[in-house]
Each structure stands twice: as C-alpha cells, then as structure tokens.
Chain A
Amino acid sequence: MTATTPQKTATPSGPDGPGGNGSRLPALTRRLRVDRRYLPVLGTFVVLALILAIGGVRYENFLSTGVLANLFINNSFLIVLAVGMTFVILTGGIDLSVGAVLALSAVSTAFLLDAGLPVAVVLPGAVLIGSIIGLLIGLMVHVFEVQPFIATLAGMFFARGLCFVIAPESIPITDEAFVALAGWDTWIGGQWRMTTSVIIALVVIAVAFYLLHYTQFGRTVYAIGGGEQSAQLMGLPVARTKVLVYVISGTCAGLGGLLFAMYSRSGYSLTGVAMELDAIAAVVIGGTLLTGGTGFVLGSVLGVLVLGLIQTIITFEGTLSSWWTKIFIGVLLLVFVVLQRVLSLRKT
C-alpha cells in the first residue's frame, strides 16, 4: 500500500494452467499475488457489508438511525488501541498490556482531575503514562531480549496493580472542562454525529497511516516483520524501531484511556479487562498476520467496526445474551485465521 491503488500491471493474463506455457505463468501469478496482499482486508470489508445487510434486513432503523455513527463513538477507544496494536503485531510482536494501561490512564485521569489539577495538565499526563510504560516494555523487549509476550504480560500486571493502588473504587469525573470536552459534539449532516473522541480516533488513524506508509520508520516496521536479520543487514534502525512500536502502542493505550474516561465519565480500576484481546482480535480480523510483515492499519479499523457491529446486532436482537458476542467473535476469528492460512498455502 505504498500510496497506491491496487496494481494495474499491464501484462496479458494467458489461460495458463499448471504446466502450461511456462513463460507467461510468472506474470500471471505475479498479478494474482499483488491482489492477495489486499485480499484479507477486502474479506473484512465484505464481512462488514454482510453484517450491515443482515442487520438492515432484519431490523428496522438498523441502517437509518445513528447506529453507524454510534459505532464510531462507542468504539473509538478500541480503534485507538487496535491502531497501536497493529504497529506491534506488524513487527511480529504482541502487546498484552494495553487493556491495563488503558485502565491506568483512565483511573489517573479521574484521580488527578478529582485532586483538582487542570485539564491541560491531566490530559497530556495520562497519555504520557502510556508512553512511559510502552517505553519500558520496548526496552525490555529490545535490550534484555525478553519475549514480547512476557514483557507485555509483566507490563499488564504492573499497570493493573497500579490502578488499584491509585484508586480501589470508581472515581466519577466532575471536572467541568473535561465534561464539556467529553460532551461536545456536532452534527455533520443527517444522522452523523461527530464527538471529540471520534475526531481523536480519526486523527490517530490518519497519523498511523502516514507513519506506516510514508516514513522510513513505517517501512522499517514492515521490514522487521518480514525478517529482523534482513532488516538489520539492510542497515535499517531495527533497535530504535522495535522500541518505538511499543511506545506507540503504549501511547495509544494512554490515549484510549482518555477516550474511555470521556465515554464513561469515570475512572475505574477494573475497566478494560481483556480489552487487549479485543484489540488483537480486531487486528487479526482486519487481515494482519500475527507473524508480522503483512497487514494494514485500515484493516484493523475495519476489524473494530466488525466487532462493534456484531455487538450492535446482538443488542438489536434483544433476547440474546450479550455473551453471544464473544461466541460470534470467536467464530469469526477462526474463519479469518483459516482464510489467511489457505491464502498463504495457495501461495506456496
């Protein structure tokens, strides 16, 4: 996706089966493979459209109300988490700490506002907490070569524990400026409502897209996922990049905590339990390979929307327990992983 539309290679595609005219075969497969890079994302898109269609047929108002707008509003924090997670997974790593870091950021926000600090100090501070934990994890992963799974697991326990130290009980947020910021919205035509958190999420997506595709840092992320040693031999700044992806993921988690505090108008130490798994699920459903190197940040956004839509459908159904959401997500995850497997098998 280097500033690109899908490839238009001007090569004739001959009717070559296996063992057919050998000289034309490579051109044909080359064309198909270019398409394959986008196939998982397209798949997610198709699923999204399907769910929308099913919802539209089954329930009145599913498409006409602000359901779609609410999808963004209710999931903005998850979008931000998934975007951060995409960076880490693209390098072949994983970040289990983001749910706890989100909670820590939300709790800190509520606590500091409660203590009377101004919004202008609290907001950057909450985000910074995420960045610092991300930095520590990144250094653990890089300098001490701790497995990302373990390093971020440690980060998760650390952040979660810290939440309880700060505030065992839920702290409501009453700060006027914060409430005003969280409550601000504008109608941008029809049913579409824009809130502060949606704007933040959109900015995060745009920045992530830019970083991944138009900077050396972003390309290095992909190169590391493709093979760390190769990236090293190419003279790319592997060390710096590996640390940075965890800083980005941590920062996104800190930001996600802010968004969650805006969403819930409180800070509670048990928020976001297992949310890191939702983020990972969204990234995988969005077509990013856990082995690294392949995937797109927009895919992860689509993945979050798919998860959100499933939840919406269950809510519309009314009679179903909300735990059915988990079952559907599980099934979908399985389908996508199998699909990716099939695609990569066909390739070889």
Chain B
Amino acid sequence: MAARDASTPTTARPVVEMSGITVDYAGVRVLDGADLTVHAGEVHALMGENGAGKSTLIGALTGTVPIVAGTVLVGGEPLTPTSVADSRAEGIATVFQESHLSPQLSVAENIMIGHEVRGRFGISWSRSRERASAALATLGIEDVDPRTPLEALSPATKQLVAVARAIVLEPRVLVLDEPTSSLDEAEAARLLGVVRRLCDQGVAVLFVSHFLEQVLEVSDRMTVLRGGRVVAEYDTAQVERAELISKMIGEDIDALQALHSERLEHHYAQSGPVTLRAASIGRRGTLEPTDVDLSRGEVVGFAGLRGSGRTELARLMSGVERADRGELWLDGAPVQLRGPASALRHRIAVSTENLRHEGIVAALTVRENIVLALQALRGWTRPLSRAEQAAVVDTYLHALHLSPEDLDRPAGELSGGTQQKVVLARLLATRPHVLILDEPTRGIDIGAKLDIQRRVAKLAGEGVAVVFISSQLEEVVRLSDRIVVLKDREKIGELSNGPGVTVDTVVEMIAAELDGLVTGDDA
C-alpha cells in the first residue's frame, strides 16, 4: 500500500475545514492562523517538530484547546466544541495514546464508557459488550475477551482498544495522535493497516506521528507546521523526503547522513578494558541470566522488541532494579548496586524509558533539574555554589543546544525533546563512566534527536561506555559499535557492527517469532 493513487476526492466538500486558527497559551501564540482541510476517505498527516503546534491544532478541533480566532467547519457546519464530548457528538473521534485509557476497567468498559448501551435498568453490559466485540472484530482482534482488564493486554492491543473506542461511534473524522509511539514495527504496521481500511470506508483520518516512514506509507496528503504556522501542504505521492524534513526543521538534513558515516569511520572494535561486566545477571520473571560486557569508549546497542528484556537488562545493570542472580563487575571488582543513587556513586548513570515519571522533576526549573544529580552525588551537606551551578549549566547549555530562555522555566512545560536533553545534561554533569540510555530519542523531533545522537557519539569518543536502547533499529545500528540482541527476555546474540550490518541483520535475528507477538495474546 506504499504507493497511494492520487485520486483523492477533492471535488466533494471537505469534512473538516479549519481556517485561520489562532491559539494563545500562557501569553504565547502557539498557533498562528493555521489552515487545515481534510476530505472524506483520505488520511491526512500533520507533520512538524515538537512544539510546532500539531497537538494544539488537534486540540482546537476536538475541543480541548480554546481558540482565539479562526473558524472550524465540520461537514460545512460551524463548530465550536468546548469539550471532548462536544466534538464526539459531531462525529469527531480521537484516538489517544494507550496510556490514556483506564487500566483497571475492562476492555469493553474502556471502549464503551461514555456511550454505553442503555437497557431498562441502567447500562446493559451484555449489549455494551456485544458492541465492543463488534468494534474489536472490525480491527481484527476479535480474540480479545472484552471482559479482560485492560492492564492485562500488551501495549499494541491496548492501542487497538483505543482505536476501537474511537470507531465504535462510527465517526466521520478520526484523529490519531501519535498512535504508534509505543508500538514495535510489526504492531505499528498492523495499526496502519487498520487506519487504511477505515479510510477506505470513507472516514476522514487525521494522523500525527513522529515516524516519518509511517506517515509516508499511510497518508494521502500532509500539512506541515513549523512554529505554529502552516509552512507547506503536499500530496504524499509527490513529496520529496529531504524537502519535507527541511521544511519541518527549517534547515537541511545532510547532518544526519554525515553523522552516520562519521560513526562508521571511527568504528571502535572492542579491545579496551571492560568497564562494566554483567555476569549471568537475571531476575526471576523479568530476565533470563544474561552476560554483557561494556568497554570504555564503545556504544553498545540493545535491540529487541518491546518486552524483549532490553529495558529490563538496562535496569538490572544500572541497579534501578535488583538482580536476584548473577553479579556485576565494575573495573574488575564485584559491585553491589543498591539503587540508582548507589549506581551514581559508582559513576553509572541511567536515564529510564519513562521520562515523565522517572526522568524530569516537572516542577523544578531546567537549571535545578540539571544540577540535581550532581548535588545528590556530592551529598546535601555540601551545596554547590552558585558559580559552580552556573558553570555546570552553562557547559551543557551549549553542548546540547538548550535555549537560555528555557533555563528558568519549570521543566514540565517544555517539549519532550528539551526534557530529554535536560535529563541527559543532568547525567553528564556527574561525569559518568557508564551511561545507560533507554529510549532517549522516543517521541522527540528530529533536530533534538540529532543533537542527542551526536552527543552520544562524542561521549563514546571521550571514553564513556554507553548503552543505547531504542525501538528504532536504524538508530541503534547507526550509533552502536556492538549490538546485543534480545528476544523473549533473553539475550539471543551479539553483533559487532560494521558496514555489513543493517537493520535487516538485526530483524532477521529476531524475526522467527515476530508474527506471534503482534497481539501478544493468541493462545
């Protein structure tokens, strides 16, 4: 389905016509006169970096963001929604990320809550479940029991449940906001198939994703935003990738390619002394005993599907979770890590996958966030002086291209990319010998991604042992000297990276059971 025919029904009136949409947030103009039209039966992608205004534009359509100026027409009728319920009533359904469902409620409840089927005595759960089942069947996951609690499902299935929730009311417009960000490639492909099918049934789909390839595969047309303004509109079939990216970031993209070739040239064959050695490290129910060596100056990628044990291995190696078997050796001596603080004292720094909950402290300013770990390392009885703080912050401000005006803003207000940089700066301030990064580039824009990848490469050059984990295999392959491949909570092999190694090499290693893991519950 890569090549979409260009016969988009442009003759009929668009389902969604937004024009001149302007939104202010806390005194800042975040959306400035944006226009958007979406037709029935097309997938329309919204492109742009973090903070470009994509989510705001969607919010204006779905009623979660109040607009200052501009008009929204849905099916030719003016619409001023003030809540999600309002826009739903007009046939606009939003698929949020799976994390925005209720884990304790059952699948059927998650799909039907808010529009349950009423019987004579309140909600008729049997009929509500039937409708939920029907929606699940549309999505090809009829094997999921609607009575299952949502939390028992895999992330991919949860995401499909979120889609089911949106389509059960047969909307005219389906909005998907980063629907694939927590999915593996095969899972994402399945979701995109569903999107395509819905669109063929005449639904207008508005699609937002950071994954360029997915957007190019699934969309018919796209609108590109930058800094709150619409900068371009394309037919996907005719768009040129380089042009699209440069429109998004406002500069050209050769830098990425340069980084890749640079990495390949300075490829580091493992030879230096082993810094951190995991010997048969494991934890019951989490990870089978695994051996991994990290050497000075190398980047080791952990590759595998979500749930393969890559995150778990990182957490065990960094003391975030305690191993119940095997041991860790640091610079040739056995070491006990009793938690992240103890790891930090041994110069092992870790950034976890879950940035919002385990990474930044949202209420503290960027400046305070950056010095946090360094201060913890020194002990609270010896506070960093202002000058020292300023020096530390200054160093990483430049190294990571943070903007100075963000320094005194609460970190929670900033975009994901900036938050990720702040976490990285905090870790680097402790001058670690081992740096473990779990999904440092997830959900952030391409410019920030580039900054972080560059920085990782540079750190390795300075002698730090780096573990790099990412769902995007291209990244892992681009950056790593060595790739540890995991599957089913077990290390299945190691690849020494080199010119012959590609994403396909890694995928082939994992591939055998790829299909079986798509929904995670085919028993």
B152 within 8 A of A: yes
What is the size category of the interface that chain A forms with chain B? 35 or more
Stretch of B398-406, B447-455, B513-521 at the chain-chain interface? B513-521
Q: Is the CB of B288 within 8 A of A223?
A: no
A15 within 8 A of B: no
Number of A-B contacts (CB under 8 A): 126
> Bound complex: CA of A139 vs CA of B303, how far in Å?
50
B113 within 8 A of A: yes
Select from chain B the residue with minimum beta-carbon distance to A90: B104
Q: Which of B84, B285, B517, B523 has the most CB of A within 10 A?
A: B523
- Chain A residues with CB under 8 Å of chain B are 2-4, 7, 9, 11-12, 18-19, 22-24, 26-30, 33-34, 37, 210, 213-216, 219-220, 222-223, 225-227, 229-237, 293-294, 347
Q: Is the CB of A234 within 8 A of B114?
A: yes
Can you give 26 A-B contacts (C-beta < 8 A)?
Answer: A7-B145, A9-B147, A18-B284, A18-B285, A18-B286, A19-B488, A22-B488, A23-B522, A23-B523, A30-B152, A33-B149, A34-B147, A37-B104, A216-B123, A219-B105, A219-B123, A222-B102, A222-B105, A223-B102, A229-B100, A230-B96, A230-B100, A234-B113, A234-B114, A293-B102, A293-B104
Within 8 A of A (CB), among B19-37: none
Within 8 A of A (CB), among B123-173: 123, 125-126, 145, 147-149, 151-154, 165
Q: Is the CB of B522 within 8 A of A19?
A: no
The residue from B84, B147, B520 contacting A233, defined by CB atoms under 8 A apart:
B84
Chain B positions within 8 Å of A232 at CB level:
84
Q: Is the CB of A220 within 8 A of B84?
A: no
Chain A positions within 8 Å of B147 at CB level:
2, 4, 7, 9, 34
Q: Is the CB of B516 within 8 A of A226?
A: no
B421 within 8 A of A: no
Q: Is the CB of B113 within 8 A of A223?
A: yes
| Extra A-B contacts (15), CB below 8 Å, given A26-B520, A222-B102, A230-B101 | A3-B125, A9-B145, A18-B286, A23-B513, A26-B523, A30-B145, A30-B152, A34-B148, A214-B122, A216-B113, A216-B123, A222-B109, A223-B102, A227-B100, A235-B84
> Bound complex: CA of A237 vs CA of B84, how far in Å?
10
> Bound complex: CA of A38 vs CA of B88, how far in Å?
34
Chain B positions within 8 Å of A229 at CB level:
100
Select from chain A the residue with minimum beta-carbon distance to B283: A18
Within 8 A of A (CB), among B87-123: 88, 94, 96, 99-106, 108-109, 113-114, 116, 121-123
Q: Is the CB of A27 within 8 A of B102?
A: no
Chain A positions within 8 Å of B121 at CB level:
210, 214
B83 within 8 A of A: yes
The residue from B99, B123, B285 contacting A214, defined by CB atoms under 8 A apart:
B123
Q: Is the CB of A219 within 8 A of B154?
A: no
Q: Is the CB of B516 within 8 A of A22?
A: yes
Select from chain A the residue with minimum beta-carbon distance to B523: A27
Task: Using known A-B contacts A2-B106, A33-B152, A34-B148, determine if residue A219 contacts B113 with beta carbons closer than 8 Å.
Answer: yes
Q: Which of A12, A225, A226 has the most CB of B within 10 A?
A: A226
Which 5 pairs between the two chains have the least Cβ-Cβ distance?
A214-B122, A27-B523, A235-B84, A226-B102, A235-B85
- Chain B residues with CB under 8 Å of chain A are 64, 83-85, 88, 94, 96, 99-106, 108-109, 113-114, 116, 121-123, 125-126, 145, 147-149, 151-154, 165, 284-286, 288, 488-490, 513, 516-517, 520-523
Select from chain A the residue with minimum beta-carbon distance to B106: A2
Q: Is the CB of B521 within 8 A of A30?
A: yes
> Bound complex: CA of A214 vs CA of B119, how far in Å?
9
Select from chain A the residue with minimum beta-carbon distance to B121: A214
> Bound complex: CA of A33 vs CA of B145, how far in Å?
13
Q: Is the CB of B85 within 8 A of A237?
A: yes
Q: Is the CB of B523 within 8 A of A230?
A: no
Q: Is the CB of A34 within 8 A of B149?
A: yes
Q: Is the CB of A235 within 8 A of B114?
A: yes
Select from chain B the residue with minimum beta-carbon distance to A19: B288
Chain A positions within 8 Å of B153 at CB level:
30
Chain A positions within 8 Å of B103 at CB level:
226-227, 293
> Bound complex: CA of A28 vs CA of B285, how far in Å?
14
Q: Is the CB of A22 within 8 A of B122?
A: no
Q: Which of A2, A23, A210, A214 has the most CB of B within 10 A?
A: A2
Task: Using known A-B contacts A19-B288, A232-B84, A233-B84, determine if residue A215 contacts B122 with beta carbons closer than 8 Å.
Answer: yes
Q: Is the CB of A19 within 8 A of B122?
A: no
> Bound complex: CA of A23 vs CA of B512, how far in Å?
13
> Bound complex: CA of A219 vs CA of B102, how far in Å?
10
Chain B positions within 8 Å of A222 at CB level:
102, 104-105, 109
Select from chain B the residue with minimum beta-carbon distance to A294: B104
Q: Which of A215, A227, A231, A235 has the most CB of B within 10 A?
A: A235
Chain A positions within 8 Å of B84 at CB level:
232-235
Task: Using known A-B contacts A4-B147, A19-B489, A214-B122, determine if residue A226 contacts B105 with beta carbons closer than 8 Å.
Answer: yes
Q: Is the CB of B123 within 8 A of A24?
A: no
Q: Which of A4, A216, A293 has the most CB of B within 10 A?
A: A216
| Interchain nearest-CB distance for B324 vs A (Å) | 12
Chain B positions within 8 Å of A37 at CB level:
104, 149
Chain A positions within 8 Å of B99 at CB level:
230
| Interchain nearest-CB distance for B438 vs A (Å) | 17
Q: Is the CB of B122 within 8 A of A220?
A: no
Chain A positions within 8 Å of B165 at CB level:
234
Q: Is the CB of B104 within 8 A of A33?
A: no
Select from chain A the residue with minimum beta-carbon distance to B108: A2
Q: Is the CB of B116 within 8 A of A233?
A: no
Select from chain B the residue with minimum beta-carbon distance to A232: B84
> Bound complex: CA of A166 vs CA of B165, how far in Å?
53
| Interchain nearest-CB distance for A151 vs B (Å) | 22
Q: Is the CB of A220 within 8 A of B113?
A: yes
Chain A positions within 8 Å of B488 at CB level:
19, 22
> Bound complex: CA of A27 vs CA of B113, how far in Å?
25
Q: Is the CB of B113 within 8 A of A236?
A: yes
Chain B positions within 8 Å of A293 at CB level:
102-104
> Bound complex: CA of A47 vs CA of B104, how far in Å?
25
> Bound complex: CA of A12 vs CA of B153, how far in Å?
17
Chain A positions within 8 Å of B154 at CB level:
26
Q: Is the CB of B521 within 8 A of A26?
A: yes
| Interchain nearest-CB distance for A26 vs B (Å) | 5
Q: Is the CB of A233 within 8 A of B88?
A: no
> Bound complex: CA of A7 vs CA of B103, how far in Å?
17
| Interchain nearest-CB distance for B128 vs A (Å) | 8
> Bound complex: CA of A33 vs CA of B152, how far in Å?
7
